[in-house]
Each structure stands twice: as C-alpha cells, then as structure tokens.
Structure 1
C-alpha cells in the first residue's frame, strides 16, 4: 500500500493590500511535516509563495503560522495529525501585520523586548564569584528555553483581538522575561531604584493578563508561562502594592541600602 497521498491545502495569499485563501492539492509522504508540504508547494505550484523559515528543527521559531486556526510551528506539525481527507488551512499570524503570504511583521515584539531593562549584576560581586542554589537556577532556566516564535504573543487575546492594547501591553513572552529577572536572586535592579514588579504592572500591562493559559497551550517548548511566570509575578506585584508588611520591609531595605 502506498504511503503517499494527495492532500487538500488552503493557503492564504496576499499582502498589505489584502488577500484570500487559495486551494491546492499537494503530495504528502510518510513522516513529513507541514513545512515540507509548503516547500513542495513552492517547488511545484507556487514559486512566489512567501514563507519564513530557517532551522526546520523547532529551535529558531521562524516558521510560525496558524494551521487550521491554531498557532503552530510548521516544522513541528506532522501531517499525520490530520486525516487524509481533511483540508489543511495555513494562514499568517493574525496578531501581526501581513508582509506577504505567510510572512508577518513581528517587529512589535522586538520593540517590546527593548523596553525590558536587562539583568543588573550585584555591585559587590565580580564575574566568576556568582553563587546560586540549583533551585534558583532551575526556576528562570525554564523561561530561557523560549525560541522567540511569538506563538504566545499571537494567541494572547489581549494582543490578538485588541490592537489598541499593544502600546500598553508587553504580552506573555515579555512579561515572562520580567518574571525571570524578578525571580533571579542575583538581580540587583532594586539597588538602582528599578522595581520590576511595579514596572510590570505600570509599564508592561501585567493587569491586562487574565490568565486564560492560552499562551501556555501553544508554547512549542512546553514552558508553563502562566503558572510559573505570570501568576507568580501577579502575586508579587499585589504583595508589593497591598501587603503592609511587604511594603514596610521594602522601605526598611531601601533605607538600609541608602545608608
């Protein structure tokens, strides 16, 4: 029995001026992923089809798209998850402006990344003298598995459905970055007057997140963005603002460091 078959594909074609879905029938072979089929489509029927990709190994995050309405990496979505009689629809990331076909302008994310102040090393420690418990290493290390595919940004309804929120909301990927730095036991941002919990709330829109966990569901690296980053960050932001003991402790520490 042949393992090859003809699959029905609908692929969005267009640019900033608009576009529409086009129908194709493309050969599929055993073990292939959606990106293989897109490449075959380029080679045989649509040589001008624009698609962004690089590693084809699920590590560069370049080939993000929406497949049957779900944000996915094309290189990590096996054709075997679809029925042979099923039409596979591929569209560009909906949360970001289309450049052409399946390529979107994700510069919004790089702009947000630049707004996050970087790690602040302790003044009294030299390089090579940093010491951390393994437990403290493990917590932020999970977040460093991020491959910048921006699927979490795309599926977050605060970004996806409300363009007006973008100036005030960093999105789950970059709130996770704030959480990673805030959890880091050697981050000395507070000594410089930078309160990461306050900036998460006031400058990066932490309050917009209503923890639906849609970002976690689409993460190809399996990062528990909501449970391990966003919820803990929200808890610490609330403690800082409303818990009188935490507030008093912060004032005492600030006065002691100033002295």
Structure 2
C-alpha cells in the first residue's frame, strides 16, 4: 500500500531555522528514516541527517518525531495515520549544526571524565572470576547504544543549560553505576558521582528510562542504587567519624604537633 504523507522537517543551522513542509511517498513496511532518505533523493538533496546502521544499534539517527525523542530507523510509519502530519526536529538539548544534525560533543566530554575500570593490581589477565549474578547485574547497561536520547530528554540538562558543566546526565551516571557494581573494580566512585558528575541533580523522574530504545531500566537499576550507595556512605556514622579524623590529619602540617607548636 502506497500513500503520500505530510511532513514538517526542521531546516536551518546554529543561527536559526524553521519547519518546512513536504509531501513524501510512503510504502508499506517503511520507517521514518526511509522517508528522510526519499526526501533527500527527491526534494531536498542538501538535507543534513546523521545515520549509520539503520538497525537500531548505532544510535546515530536520533531525532524528535512529533516532539518525542526517538530513533528514526526504529519508528515505523504504520504507527501514524495516513492523514497525520509528522514533524521531525533535531534533538532539542544539543546545539544544532545543520538541519537534523546536532553537536553531541557534550556527551563525549563527559565520557572522558568517567574513571576507567580499575582491577586489582596483582590480578593477571585470565584470572578474572565473577559470579554469574554479578555478570547479569551489569549486563543490562552494556546494551546502551549511546543514542543520547536519555541525556536529551533529561530535564536537568534539557531545561538548564548551566547544568551542563556539572551534570553528566543519565547515560554516564549509568556507566559509573555499572563500574561501581563490578566486583573486581577497586575504585570508589561515589564521591566522583556526586562531585564531578552531579548525581544530586537527578530526581528520578524516569524520563530517561521511558525513551531508551534498548529498554534499559536506567533509573530503577542504575541511578537509584547509585544514590542509595552514596547515601549509605554519607550518613554512615562510622564513616562520618573516620572522615573527621582524615580531615584533621590533612590540616596538620608535616612535623607539627597537635597543639600547633613545632618540635625542637
């Protein structure tokens, strides 16, 4: 079955732009990315769009379709009625480069800030041993295709540009949680999660989970457990007392006595 669908596609660059109307042929079984390719071939050869695998595994073709962040290659045309006008706009949270292509370098900058996996120093390759339950616990997070839809829809980033300097968004807090759950990782990432990646900005609205094309339970299985471990550390009375001693040790100058005088 073939019909002509009405589209509104955002055209412009970092200086501004607007929605432009198009009428494009739609064939049975097609997805939105198919229509965008046909639009490029027939009416708008200069339309900029980012894509790669067309199989929902690279995350490149992220866009907002009728206001909802989605992958264009995984959004089937039969989910819309034939008389419906379909609006395609770039991800709102990131700066526009041109048309549907946005600058997502913010995400890569945050990725570089995440401390890498730190196994025990005396552990040789091939000696790693994990229980299956530990493997399964973090396996879910490894399905992430880095489409950045979760960071795009997170209101702490989307509605507050000033937060980008101190908040890494759900994608990279999930990465920190994954490493923190790893039984062979020796790094304590709780303070990093709060101080460097802004865990406190997350108020667990689950909007990131709702848009994840891999159906990862980002909030329930990563962010909430990470918040719980941070709270355990912060409000643990034994740790609090130990922290006071450590702070006092840092205040003492080398060679100084507790009373402040320098021994002769």
Is the shorter-chain TM-score for this pair beyond 0.5, marking a shared fold? yes
Residue segments in structure 1 that go unaligned for 5+ positions in a row: 190-194, 252-259
**Alpha-carbon distance in structure 1 between the residues aligned to 2:200 and 2:49:** 35
CA contact under 8 A between 1:239 and 1:246: conserved in structure 2?
no
Cα distance in 2 for partners of 1:113, 1:122 equals: 23
**Partners in 1 of 2:69 and 2:23 — Cα distance?**
22
Q: How does 1:18-167 map to 2 (within 5 A)?
A: 18-167=16-165
Q: 1:223–1:250: structure 2 CA closer, same or farther, 3 Å change rule? A: farther
Aligned residue number for residue 235 of structure 1:
228
Give the CA deviation at 1:121.
1.2
Q: Decide which moves more: 142-151 or 237-246.
A: 237-246
Could you tell me how far 1:123 is from its partner in structure 2?
1.4
Number of residue pairs aligned between Structure 1 and Structure 2: 244
SS in 2 for 1:48: coil
SS of 2:143's partner is coil
Alpha-carbon distance in 1 for matches of 2:163, 2:242: 34
Q: Check 1:249–1:129 CA distance in 2 against 1; reply closer, same or farther (3 A cut).
A: farther
Match of 2:203 in 1: 210
CA offsets 1:86-130 (integer angstroms, 9 cap, x no match) = 110000000000000000000000000000010001112111011
Q: Secondary structure at the match of 1:21?
A: strand
2:179 equivalent in structure 1? 181
TM-score of the superposed pair, with normalisation by structure 1? 0.92
Q: Residues 230-250 of structure 1, C-alpha deviation per residue, up to 9 Å, x if partnerless? A: 000000000000022565799
Unaligned runs of 5+ residues in structure 2 are 245-264
The answer to whether 1:10 aligns with 2:8 is: yes
Considering only aligned residues, what root-mean-square deviation do their CA atoms show, in Å? Answer: 1.4
Compute the TM-score of the two structures, normalised by the length of structure 2: 0.90
Please identify the structure whose Cα radius of gyration is greater: 2
Deviation by residue 1:175-217 (Cα, 9 ceiling, x = unmatched): 000000000000011xxxxx30111011110000000000000
SS at match of 2:222: helix
Distance in 1 (CA, whole Å) between partners of 2:60 and 2:140 is 20
List structure 1 segments (4+ residues) > 4 angstroms apart after TM superposition.
Answer: 245-251
* C-alpha spacing 1:135/1:245, structure 2 compared with 1 (3 Å): farther
